[in-house]
Structure 1
Amino acid sequence: MATLKEKRTCGQRCEDFGRFVWNSDTGAMFGRTPEKWGILYYVAFYVIMTGLFCLFIQSVTISGMVSANLCVLCVCVCVCVCGVMVWPPTYIEEDVILSYNLSDKTSQRKMSNCLSNFLKPYNDTSQQSNHNCTRGEYFKQEKFEAPHHTKYSCRFTQSMLGRCSGLDDPTFGYNGTTPCVIIKMNRIINFLPNNGTGMAPHLNCTILSGHENIDMMEYFPTNGTFDLSYFPYYGKLAQPTYVNPLVAVKFHLVKEREAKIQCRVVAHNIAYQDSYEPYQGKVVFLLKALK
């Protein structure tokens, strides 16, 4: 014979709910003791932190392997922000100063050794595995057809820097008054200079002060061009053997042998006039040959 369940009053229900919220006998709150709440909190905390870490690793990995626009978007909105670097690097406060002594072999050797070490990835042996690309054309790759599921990288050899390659003159002109300076553009994923119009960017150096102290400037490669075949760049994992295209400038110093120079990469989508980023798209340095 079925028994009838006693119907609980409103007061009893309120009492049960109050005991659920706080049970003075067990010290439980909402059915759990403080110890269990603490364990639950730390479990949730570490689950969330692990999830965020996994998302971070995924974003870093993907941006290097595929044509992810994450890196482009952080540096490029309507006008691309390209960084420019100069070698040998010598920084005093915010200025770049390239200074050497004509009567000090150690000073000259320091500058030439810096350039020699910088150009090691560009020697013929290191570049042998890279692709011999068609000059003057973008090297666009839709698929990962290179070994180890990567994309091909175009060959840039040290000899392309001509009289600033260090092959014929290992001093790079620092044993006299014709020093070489090498300019490198920073890498930007999927960046096409001049918005993909087929015009190659080029380096343009101007003398800000000390015009009378520079007789001539020579660019290597010819016209200071960053060839289109090195664009676009697909990321470090997609192109592990990629090397930045370079332009070298040989300065012929005369008289006081000191000048302040600005070099910038010329392209429609590379900004160089920004009050908030004064060194965006260009580099300014002081070149001095002491005696």
Structure 2
Amino acid sequence: MANKEEKADEKQSSWKDFIYNPRTGEFIGRTASSWALIFLFYLVFYGFLAGMFSLTMWVMLQTLDDHTPRYRDRVANPGLMIRPKYLEIGFNRSIPQQYNKYVQHLESFLQLYNDSIQDANKQCTDGEYFEQDKAEEKQVCQFKRSWLRSCSGLADSTFGYSEGQPCILVKMNRVIGLRPRGDPHINCAAKRETPLQMQYFPTEGTLDKSYFPYYGKTLHANYVQPVVAVKLLLTEEDYNSELVIECKVEGTDLLNNDERDKFLGRVTFRVKVLK
């Protein structure tokens, strides 16, 4: 019994000595000077790593532009989208409740294009890029809602939906620094044997060069991109059947036929109008 107590006392004493040995002055097996050297080593080591990381980040940040992404390979060519933002548009022209959501969407989208707002912007020269070299906030070219004429929602607040000849707005997505060559314009066609009559506003579906390049949200805060209004001139034969319509940007070097991306330079949507 005494041997067991002695062994227990020795074991407890050894643990106490490991934590702090008063004879050697060691704490957890090391003297104070040994611990100080270890802490100094790791302080220098991790300080060096932090310094290297900070220097690397600083050098990398010097290569970046505050306004333009360095790599933009995913958006080298713009996609097309339509407003109202529905790829399947269906309604009965005699029932306003069925097409009101499309009308409201168009009205909301065109608020920034109101003539009263656009009068404050610059009248740019048609057919020429609007280059701006200075770093301050960029000027914006006028694009007035009234230029969309019968698709402006001014003379006809239903954008043609009440008469069964709806307007669709086609816009090209923004890409910083894009300068499309040639004469870019929007061309739409129904995927069927007989052509579908359409009207374009502005005339011929032009996307004028004066709205390019775009300098980004920071520098070009009030920028409005050009849009093309397409009025579908549906006839009695076109009602009650689904029409598949594809719009493309043409007359330029921009891609519009990549089978891997259905929205690259083109957009396809469906329209069905009931009498």
Same fold (TM > 0.5): yes
5+ residue gaps, structure 2, are 1-27
Cα contact 1:185–1:246 (8 A) shared by 2: yes
Q: CA deviation at 1:33?
A: 5.1
Q: Distance in 2 between matches of 1:128 and 1:50?
A: 49
> Counterparts of 2:238 and 2:84 in 1: how far apart (Å)?
21
Aligned mates of 2:42, 2:274 — CA distance in 1: 72
The superposition leaves residues 193-227 of structure 1 with CA deviations (integer Å, 9 ceiling, x where unpaired) of 11xxxx32000111113747x4x100000000001
Pair 129,52 (structure 1): closer, same or farther in 2 beyond 3 Å: farther
Distance in 2, matches of 1:206 and 1:40, equals 67
Name the counterpart of 2:188. 205
Deviation of residue 29 (structure 1)?
A: 8.2
- How far apart are 1:267 and its partner, in Å? 3.7
| % same residue | 35
Does residue 1:75 correspond to 2:75, yes or no?
A: yes
Deviation for aligned residue 1:119: 0.3
Within 2, Cα distance between the matches of 1:101 and 1:50? 65
In structure 2, what is the equivalent of residue 270 of structure 1? 254
TM-score (norm 1): 0.72
Q: 1:223-242 to 2 correspondence within 5 Å?
A: 223-242=204-223
Stretches of structure 1 that go unaligned for 5 or more consecutive residues are 1-22, 91-95
Question: 1:253 aligns to what SS in structure 2?
Answer: coil
Contact 1:273 1:280 in 2 (8 A): yes
| Pair member with larger Rg | 2
In structure 2, distance between residues paired with 1:71 and 1:162: 39
Whole-angstrom distance in 1 between the partners of 2:69 and 2:207: 22
1:154 aligns with 2:156: no
In the alignment, which residue of structure 2 is the partner of 1:279? 263
2:167 paired residue among 180, 185, 200? 180
The reply on whether 1:163 has 2:153 as its aligned counterpart is no
**TM-score between the two structures when normalised by the length of structure 2:** 0.76
TM superposition shift of 1:256? 4.1
What corresponds to 1:117 in structure 2? 108
Relative to structure 2, which stretch is displaced further, 174-183 or 36-45?
Answer: 36-45
CA deviation map 1:215-272 (0-9, x unaligned): x100000000001111111222222111000000000122242310000111432111
CA–CA separation in structure 2 for the residues paired with 1:57 and 1:218:
50
- 1:105 and 1:46 map into 2 onto residues whose CA distance is 66
> Residues 186 and 205 of structure 2 are in contact (CA less than 8 Å); yes or no, is this contact kept in structure 1?
yes
Matching residue's letter, 2:107: S
